[in-house]
Amino acid sequence: MKIIIYPGSFDPVTNGHIDIIIRAARLCDKLIVAVANNESKKAVFSLEERVELLKRSLAGMENVEVTSFTGLLSEFVKKNKASAIIKGLRTVSDYEYELQMALINKSLSPEVETLFLVADIKYSFLSSSIVRELAKLGGNIEGLVPDCIKETVIKKLGNN
């Protein structure tokens, strides 16, 4: 059974993430969406909230599992006997950062592969921080996050 890990902060999950999840799930037997519990990178949503928003958004997807992890990603991958990490690459993006992460993870655990999928072009400018910024300024986040979590995101971030 091929297991793939999709790690991230998901602060909060966006439709760009959902697109990658749907496509990645088709390429393996089980996809584990893994929320990083990274103390040095302050998240706006708590770890529990981020996991819950993902679970709500992915309800009904059969071979997708949502969880969180602490510590090194490469350790988490090995513990789960996953064959690869998967990440999205946006055309307008942090390509160099993702490449660096892939090389570090390969240096730490040569058997752990990182696969990249190109983000759908219509989400190429989308990121969690864009969603947070927009929600805070009262902008419309319709179509940027799953409909079922939209109100929760606005309630948390909006200044109304």
CB-based contact 126:16 (threshold 8 Å) = yes
Decide: residue 4, CB within 10 A, 0-12 exposed, 13-18 middle, 19+ buried. buried
Contact 132, 104 (CB under 8 A): no
Q: Is residue 104 part of the contact set for a copy of itself (CB under 8 A)?
A: yes
Per the residue annotation, which of 50, 87, 90, 132 is the catalytic one? 90
The CA–CA distances, whole Å, from 103 to 1, 84, 112 equal 25, 13, 10
Q: Which of 41, 42, 81, 107 is catalytic?
A: 41
Query: Should residue 115 be labelled a site residue for a copy of itself when binding is judged by CB under 8 A?
Result: yes
List 9, 74, 127, 128, catalytic entry: 128
- 3: burial class by Cβ within 10 Å (0-12, 13-18, 19+)? middle
Residue 56: active-site member: no
Among 30, 56, 106, 150, binds a copy of itself (CB under 8 A): 106
How far apart are alpha carbons 20 and 24 in whole angstroms?
A: 6
147 binds a copy of itself (CB under 8 A): no
The 50-69 site mask, x for binding a copy of itself (CB under 8 A), equals --------------------
Selected from 23, 55, 150, 156, the binder of a copy of itself by CB under 8 A is 23
Least gap, CB of 29 to a copy of itself (angstroms): 10
